[in-house]
Amino acid sequence: MIIINISEQSLEYKGKSYSISTSINGTGEIEGSYCTPTGKFKIAEKIGANLELGSVLVERKPTGEIYNTNLAKKNPYRDWILTRILWLDGIEVHNTNTKNRYIYIHGSPDETQMGVPGSKGCIRMHNYDVIELFEGIQSGEDVIIIE
């Protein structure tokens, strides 16, 4: 089971703790709120197996780009989803819209600050960390997000 603790900005799995970044807007389940949902979830899909570190994904598909500072400068407002995606599906009444909101655990640029809220609802991780997590879990794995 993956446990995401929003107040600690941490993700725990099998005794290992990772620093993460959840929504800058706080918690919530309303469509368009850009908040991180809470409660019980499952990993609906694992996307990006064997992609190169820093691979850019848009709409869950690799673009062929590898993130770098020049790409970042050309696209300063892009919400970078890199390397791997673990797509969450809410299994409680209040969070059943999570998959339709496209809430993921995903990789981020190395310069993205972890340990503080900063995302648009997703759970951001460093790329090496998301690869390690991705390799260790299965689709259908339980996830709990607590405040």
Secondary structure class of 128 (helix, strand, coil):
helix
Contact (CB, 8 A) for 63 and 116? no
In the chain, the domains with their CATH numbers are 2-146 (2.40.440.10)
Average pLDDT score, the chain: 97
pLDDT of residue 58: 97
Distance CA 92, CA 25 (A): 21
Average pLDDT of 15-28?
A: 98
pLDDT of residue 96: 97
pLDDT cut 90: percent of the chain above it = 99
Q: What is the pTM of this model?
A: 0.96
